[in-house]
Amino acid sequence: SYVLTQPPSVSVAPGKTARITCGGNNIGIKNVHWYQQKPGQAPVLVIYYDSDRPSGIPERFSGSNSGNTASLTIIRVEAGDEADYFCQVWDSSSGHVFGTGTKVTVL
């Protein structure tokens, strides 16, 4: 089965930049999507097709994907960005696969 690996946690000071990675075998040839999930809430799509932002998502959120690693970058981090973040891809053998998740803590 296809596995997506994320760091368990990322800590960042307000106003700084957070980068969350999502590792998978040849993930660069897949479309990667990212979700933000705050405690007690459903996930919210923040990036789709590697780097596209849904309407209403701030430009501070961006994504990239190449080789074996996809990344979600949040610039000018705010307290409200504190949440869990999950990557997701489609794999022909496994179906929809989610990453292990990364907890972003704003210091």
Partner 1 sequence: QLQLQESGPGLVKPSETLSLTCTVSGGFISSSSFYWGWVRQPPGKGLEWIGSISYSGNTYYNPSLKSRVTVSVVPSQNLFFLKLTSVTAADTAVYYCARHPVDMAARPYGWFDTWGQGTLVTVAS
* Minimum gap (Å) between residue 93 Cβ and partner 1: 7
Task: Please tell me whether residue 97 binds partner 1 under the rule CB under 8 A.
Answer: yes
> How many residues sit in the footprint of partner 1 (CB under 8 A)?
24
**2 forms part of the interface with partner 1 (CB under 8 A):** no
Taking the C-alpha atoms of residue 34 and residue 70, their distance in angstroms, rounded to an integer, is: 10
Cα-based distances in Å from 94 to 5, 24, 35, 37, 97: 15, 13, 19, 23, 7
- For partner 1, the binding residue among 26, 59, 79, 93 (CB under 8 A) is 93
**Whether 71 contacts 52, CB under 8 Å:** no
Q: Which residue of 48, 51, 60, 73 would you call a contact of partner 1, by CB under 8 A?
A: 48
